[in-house]
Amino acid sequence: MDKQIRFVDLKYLDLLGGLHHLTIPIDNFALKRPFGIDGSSLAGFSSRKDSDLVVIADPKTRSVDPFFEEPTLSFFANIYHPDGSRFEADPRAIIEKAKKKARAYGRPYFQVELEFYIFRRLSVEHWPGGYSVAFESDDSASYHSPLPNDRFSRIRDRISQVLSRLGIPIRYHHHELGPGQQEIELELVPLDRIGDVITLARYVIKNVCATEGLKASFLAKPLSGAPGSGLHIHHLIRKKGSIFGRKRLTRIGRYYLGGLLTHAPAL
């Protein structure tokens, strides 16, 4: 371990994709050491009678978290039962299962477009079936607006630089159509990285904005009468080229689309 590192931060997800973290003093950390968490306090996880779970760092995801005041090493963590078996509802375990099933067809890759709004001030009130948003924004730029109208270009530059240092390649960024709406498009990554990449990108975007006194929102429709924000995901499966074909969609490509449509309501 780097002698300057003071803490280790373990990041993990609940079933709905919510990010959680646990911070450990460096002297109390070991790569294979399990740390207990309460599954009953996490969305979509265990009931109280079966709530004991543990998280263990995935060494392949090592990075230095740039947002902690003290030098802090960061890992994504896998979630296990106390007996050492994988916890089935861990999103990282679900991706591992999907990767194994996909091997028969080729190597899956995904490319993500992250759309979000930046506000000077934002508060969201939730209730069953809806929410209301109070915000403050002085941005009136539109799609691909140039400087000086594109007031948040510098913020997107900062976000892109941090993501690049964390090993997440950026394709480009620009102002989107809505007032204060941004887009950052990432490069193609393999299936086993896509969940970590999206999670880390959202984390970086929110934290860079926070250091500037701003609020980043990934709500699907934060403003009435303004464009909503999407999460566009491009799909590619390679096996001696794309299995979806080049000029015409292949039969397996049509089946793939059918599967997406069948399971879309679950999302």
- Give the pLDDT confidence score for residue 133 in this predicted structure: 78
Of 5-14, 48-57, 73-82, 124-133, minimum mean pLDDT range: 124-133
Residue 100 lies in a domain: no
**Based on the domain organization, do 60 and 150 belong to the same domain?**
no
Domain-ending residue, one of 62, 90, 118: 90
Shared-domain flag, residues 121 and 180: yes
* CA-wise closest residue to 10 among 52, 50, 88, 68: 68
pLDDT-based confidence at residue 3 (cuts at 50, 70, 90): low
> Which residue, 64, 90, 116, sits at the end of a domain?
90
Same domain, 116 and 74: no
Q: Position of tokens 């709004």?
A: 117
CB atoms within 10 A of CB 263: 9
Report pLDDT for 2.
Answer: 60
Are 73 and 151 within one domain? no
Per the domain annotation, does 152 fall within a domain? yes
Q: Could you tell me if 126 and 84 lie in one domain?
A: no
Q: Where is the domain boundary, 34, 62, 90?
A: 90
Round the average pLDDT of the chain to a whole number and report it.
93
For residues 65 and 162, membership in a common domain is answered with: no
In terms of domains, do 189 and 242 share one? Answer: yes
**CATH number, domain at 72?**
3.10.20.70
What's the confidence (pLDDT) of residue 48? 66
pLDDT digits (tens, 9 = 90+) for 95-139: 999 999 998 899 999 999 999 999 998 888 878 877 787 888 888
Q: How many helices (H) and strands (E) does the chain have?
A: 4, 14
Domain extent, residue 79, equals 7-90
Distance of alpha carbon 67 from alpha carbon 93, whole angstroms: 27
Pair (169, 260) in one structural domain: yes
141 within some domain: yes
Domain of residue 251, CATH code? 3.30.590.10
Q: Is residue 102 part of a domain?
A: no
Q: In this predicted structure, what is the pLDDT of residue 134?
A: 84
With cut-offs at 50, 70 and 90, classify the pLDDT of residue 261: very high
Residues 260 and 234 placed together within one structural domain of the fold? yes
Residue 250 lies in a domain: yes
Q: Can you give the pTM of this predicted structure? A: 0.92
Count of structural domains within the chain: 2
Does residue 158 lie within any of the structural domains?
yes
| Predicted local distance difference test score (pLDDT) of residue 242 | 95
Average pLDDT score over residue span 158-184: 97
Write out the DSSP string of 38-101. EGGGSTT---GGG-EEEEEE-GGG-EE-TT-SS-EEEEEEEEE-TTSPBPTT-HHHHHHHHHHH
Asked if residue 98 is part of any domain, the answer here is no
Residue 125 lies in a domain: yes
